[in-house]
Structure 1
């Protein structure tokens, strides 16, 4: 192997690759990355045995070859180099890195010990714009359960129905659903583990052109995402996602139309004074057509804010987790949102009055 590449391109690829390295100290080879050159392209493979990533960058190749290099050592070195162009050359089982004023020799791992990139085989193949994939994953990835003893709700449920690709996640206290336009005759559904969906978002957002299309191959146990400069393979979660549609109320006792900016800013300020349970109290006043929020902390003090709301239905008093409420609101991008109350002990449904593709459901904590 003997190549010349741009520092920024290599460093970006190494940063992505490092997130896929195995954490098991008993398998040191997983701290390495499989570097391989073919023609004028360098690929870097990393794996943690549950997910695997292959990224590609353009290089000038003088001699093709392959080597297993320690990713963090290589990344730390490259990040400290000042030159724009860097030369990498294999010397026996070492990797020599040359810049204009420096030279380093990194000891590498035996080639035969690195796990090969998994082959997914046959499966359902679909294509989707990367921007739509990001749009579906980001509003749902943070709302999965942190309890991995229930893997089906520690995952994002993705399925197609009625010309939409649906993304859903829940941790039993809240639920988020996002729909993106998608016309595909093939029926499919799968559960992708939360930690892998978070990594996938980073990979997708690192691309320079979100208008590009990702090719996805799905089989019973694995899923492969392929873009112009990456391939990402993840195991899938086995099990059944809850029938979450039954959790969404279809009738409401009150509805409040409020400014998203006003509500978000008020709740963000209120978190300063929240107690150890993160309680926030909501007072819906139909007569005065306003919404009041309040937080109390025995050690710090209290906070309250009122703002106009177009209210239909009953006046209500409810208590929510302020962090959970804020997490959901931050995914909406419209000027106004609709707060739909099914009752003081039933879920609150939040949706946009201008965009029906996203909804957020949150359970109240208790009556005030």
Structure 2
């Protein structure tokens, strides 16, 4: 006799699920981004799919980041398996065209009351085509990442465009030095009762202020680089006015948007007092067309192989020079400069990165300087963004 909790929609008695093909494809593509890395744990290359009231829940994790979403489905309550992400995504994208997908577990064994099925195979039905994938039991799947019991959780919302802009504008300056692990992420914290994002690698400091008020709550969390990139990647192309629900506790951050919950372990460390390296208002200011400056620096670097560029400011002229293994080059451009004549050198890659972060639209940017050895302040067309760029001695 068949169990009462089995939905009577399929000709087979095996646990099955009928889902929308387009939704399944989109969700698989999203979760598969977490399954591409090399790991000695086979189940981490799989997506867990399990029945829930009204549909199926899909989960992927790399142990540090996890993504969860759901799809409405006609599903057998016993359905539960982990399927290989890469193979499943390929089928969803390239399999026989169909509007729906049927997943059927091919049972190896079942317990006596038929409430649970252990399967090593899952059939995927796409129109008239049928494919069989290897499956793993969900018991092998890691425990879900959750806030620790008793931890205080700060909850607030951020516009998706604001969050994407803040992460995208700071990720590039994150340190990759493993010995300074506390710099290997974006520092999300309260500054003047508003949310601020900061990153630094010791050579440059990127700050993105927002208008998100945190009230009486003092937030301080270091979101690891990989998690910041994953969230930014999911937001890219989907960022707008829609809010992102955010939860931050001592060890975990959660971002909920696009019907997806992304949970990440935070870096357990103390971010340094970065405000000490922010210079007071420098007395020399150059206003420059960011797109033109970037193009000229790129041309010099490509032609000379130089890693450092020299900028000489005088009146309405900026002279740019570089020397590298392939030779030396000079160029110039107009700028609005206020202050005494000054020559300063920057790492070419860091300078181009700062230009892109300050003015991705190639409009005017400002560089404020005190002298050739002090940090320079960079701002541009992105409201609330500030860069601190250390000069080189070369």
> Which TM-score applies when normalising by structure 1?
0.90
Unaligned runs of 5+ in 2: 1-15, 108-118
Residue 134, structure 1, aligned to residue 164, structure 2: yes
Q: Structure 1 residue 198: deviation in Å?
A: 0.7
The structure 1 residue matched to 2:356, chosen from 330, 336, 349, is 330
Change in 2 beyond 3 A, CA 1:36/1:274: farther
CA deviation vs aligned residue, 1:191-230 (integer Å, no higher than 9, x gap): 11111111111123364x6322222222111111222511
Residue 266, structure 1, aligned to residue 306, structure 2: no
Q: Structure 1 residue 271: deviation in Å?
A: 2.6
Please give the alpha-carbon distance, in whole angstroms, between the structure 2 residues aligned to 1:79 and 1:356.
40
Q: Structure 1 residue 62: deviation in Å?
A: 4.9
CA contact (8 A) 1:253 1:343 kept: no
Please give the alpha-carbon distance, in whole angstroms, between the structure 2 residues aligned to 1:34 and 1:177.
37
Higher Cα radius of gyration: 2
Unaligned runs of 5+ in 1: none
Please give the alpha-carbon distance, in whole angstroms, between the structure 2 residues aligned to 1:24 and 1:330.
31
Counting only pairs closer than 5 Å after superposition, residues 1-368 of structure 1 correspond to structure 2 as: 1-7=16-22, 9-21=23-35, 23=37, 25-57=39-71, 59-64=72-77, 65-91=79-105, 92=107, 93=119, 94-120=121-147, 121=149, 122=151, 123-185=153-215, 186-205=217-236, 207=238, 210-275=240-305, 278-286=307-315, 289-299=316-326, 301-333=327-359, 335-352=363-380, 356-367=383-394
Please give the alpha-carbon distance, in whole angstroms, between the structure 1 residues aligned to 2:24 and 2:329.
49
RMSD between aligned alpha carbons?
Answer: 2.2
What SS is found at the alignment partner of 1:317?
A: strand
CA deviation vs aligned residue, 1:65-117 (integer Å, no higher than 9, x gap): 22211111111222222514241322222221122342101110022111232
Q: Structure 1 residue 250: deviation in Å?
A: 0.7
Please give the alpha-carbon distance, in whole angstroms, between the structure 1 residues aligned to 2:125 and 2:310.
61
Change in 2 beyond 3 A, CA 1:164/1:34: same
CA contact (8 A) 1:350 1:360 kept: yes
CA contact (8 A) 1:151 1:193 kept: no
Q: Structure 1 residue 274: deviation in Å?
A: 4.2
Please give the alpha-carbon distance, in whole angstroms, between the structure 2 residues aligned to 1:39 and 1:295.
64
CA deviation vs aligned residue, 1:154-203 (integer Å, no higher than 9, x gap): 11111122343100000000110001111221221111111111111112
